[in-house]
A and B are shown apart, each in its own frame.
Chain A
Amino acid sequence: QQPVQSPQAVILREGEDAVINCSSSKALYSVHWYRQKHGEAPVFLMILLKGGEQKGHEKISASFNEKKQQSSLYLTASQLSYSGTYFCGTEDTTDKLIFGTGTRLQVFP
């Protein structure tokens, strides 16, 4: 089952914060987060493992609630370079990474 992301789209001014949510109907082993710019390949941001801690990468961090099978990506003090489509990818015990529905983020000056 494909994970569902919310919101579908976000529009921000530089310096504003955003939260992107990812929800799965299956028990998860890990959650990946990727950013894809138009016409380019997805780029890995971070992975969160079951039983692991909240991860951080510069001003981008994420959390993983195993009981709720949910993950959230936090973007703080957004920059123009943050624009793109964000995908979560969820992995259960089958070792398959299933990508979510995507969240399109646009940051304006």
Chain B
Amino acid sequence: EAGVAQSPRYKIIEKRQSVAFWCNPISGHATLYWYQQILGQGPKLLIQFQNNGVVDDSQLPKDRFSAERLKGVDSTLKIQPAKLEDSAVYLCASSLDRGLGGYTFGSGTRLTVV
């Protein structure tokens, strides 16, 4: 089974620039998650989709972050404008049925804002 695909793997941008991350979940996984992991900390949930609908985005800084999941498959997370504190690894994960089989994570995108 193919895993969760993410791109790019690394990204360096200047503050106030914009950036977008892409995720393709495991085929058939209805639920998709974006997590932010700052160095030395546990992943923090930003947004959760069920098919193409948003289940939870309470932790998403909506003044600068946006996410969409078109047709219930691929997803894109965007930051505009980026701040220094956005430097982190952005992890995408997917799961079946409320995550009863666990979440499968992609390799992540390491973002550095300078």
Contact = CB atoms under 8 A, between A and B. Distances in A.
Interface of A: 2, 30, 32, 34, 40-47, 49, 87, 89, 91, 94-102
Nearest to A102: B42
B99 A41 contact: no
Q: Which 8 A-B residue pairings sit nearest by Cβ, starting from the closest?
A: A44-B102, A99-B42, A41-B105, A99-B43, A87-B42, A102-B42, A42-B105, A41-B107
Contacts of A46: 102
B6 to A, nearest CB: 9
Nearest to B98: A95
Nearest to B104: A44
B106 A41 contact: yes
Interface string B95-113: 0001111111111100000
